[in-house]
Amino acid sequence: MPPWLLFVILIVVILIILWILISGNPGSKPEETMVEAKLEPAAEPETPLVETVVEAIAPDDLKKIEGIGPKIAGLLTQHGILTFQQLSDTPTEQLQSILDDADIRIANPGSWPEQAKLASIGDWDSLSSLQDSLKGGKRE
């Protein structure tokens, strides 16, 4: 057998092996394609996304903010607001919308971002002074 024919056979074998490795699915049925496999509905995650995020981010105790109790803290967590920084970055209008959607009318989030900013940087003395001037989270 001529050496060039052995070389061609070797190249073909290598290409077949590479094709099998790249396709990653050598045991699949011929009628099943990768596109069909991607179109199948994904299984529902066992834990909701918000709970997964809560586990990944160490949440702050939002109840330290004047005007936020356990119910509102839970509501904010459901909306992905887990930390003082996230709360400080959330516009007051969005916070009010969250409260309105939950039929919570008594709370006023007007000072929450300001309080949360102080808490996020660890300025507890300034936060305490600010909270002394508030009543239920509202400016007197």
Q: Is the dihedral of CA 50, 56, 60, 61 positive or negative?
A: positive
Is residue 140 a contact partner of residue 130, using CB atoms and an 8 Å limit? no
* Mean pLDDT across the chain: 82
Residue position matching structure tokens 């305490």: 128
Parse the chain into domains and list their residue ranges: 3-39, 49-139
Amino acid at 64: K
Tens digit of each residue's pLDDT (9 = 90 or more) over 26-83: 555 555 555 555 556 666 666 566 555 555 668 899 999 999 999 999 999 999 999 9
Q: Which two tokens stand for residue 19?
A: 């094709």
Nearest to 108 by CA among 76, 66, 73: 66
Ranges 1-15, 84-98, 104-118: which has the least confidence: 1-15
Q: Model pTM greater than 0.95?
A: no
Q: How confident is the model at residue 7 (pLDDT cuts 50, 70, 90)?
A: confident
Residue 105 has pLDDT above 90, yes or no: no
